[in-house]
Amino acid sequence: METCLAKGFPDYNVSFDRDANAFCERVRRDGLADVALIALDHDLEMILDDSGQLYDPGTGRDVAECLAQLDPVCPVIIHSTNSPAAVGMEQCLQDAHWTTHRVIPFVSPVSRGSDDAAPANAEWIRTFWYRTCRKAISSSLR
């Protein structure tokens, strides 16, 4: 995702947060004035801290609820295989007047069972997700 955005939008800084709580703290502290797009997944991976302990980084719904407390400033892309959770995130944001777009991740049939599946599994990122990001950013600039 970072690579797609960096190549497609070289004039923008790309930043990824894998911890919902840290993202929300940063947003409350710094605001979103310089943000052109937010992309959310619901199910975040556990994170290994400096002491070797795993901790729960929260969920995309936590971020959606945080954003819902703020004035909308940019579009939000929701990409999650957890459809019920993605629908809840989308509704939370839309109720707060944020513009949302959904992209459903998929595994290319060509990549199933392949020893080299990882690059093919990212096909949805290079195609549907990236195009949705491009459309969302360009629409918000009008």
- pTM of the predicted model, to two decimals? 0.86
Answer whether residue 117 shows pLDDT above 50.
no
**d(Cα 62, Cα 115) in Å, to the nearest integer?**
35
Please tell me what DSSP assigns to residue 125: I
Which of 32, 95, 87 is closest to 60 using CA atoms? Answer: 87
Answer whether residue 11 shows pLDDT above 50.
yes
Q: How far apart are the first and last CA of the chain?
A: 24
Mean pLDDT of 115-140: 81
141 versus 104: the higher-pLDDT residue is 104
**d(Cα 27, Cα 45) in Å, to the nearest integer?**
21
Contact 20, 142 (CB under 8 A): no
pLDDT in tens, 39-80: 999 999 999 999 999 999 999 999 999 999 999 999 999 999
Residue with tokens 């295989």: 81
Spell out the CATH class of 2-137.
Answer: alpha beta
**d(Cα 26, Cα 24) in Å, to the nearest integer?**
5
Q: What percent of the chain has pLDDT over 70?
A: 91
Say if strands 38-40 and 76-79 run parallel, antiparallel, or are unpaired.
Answer: parallel
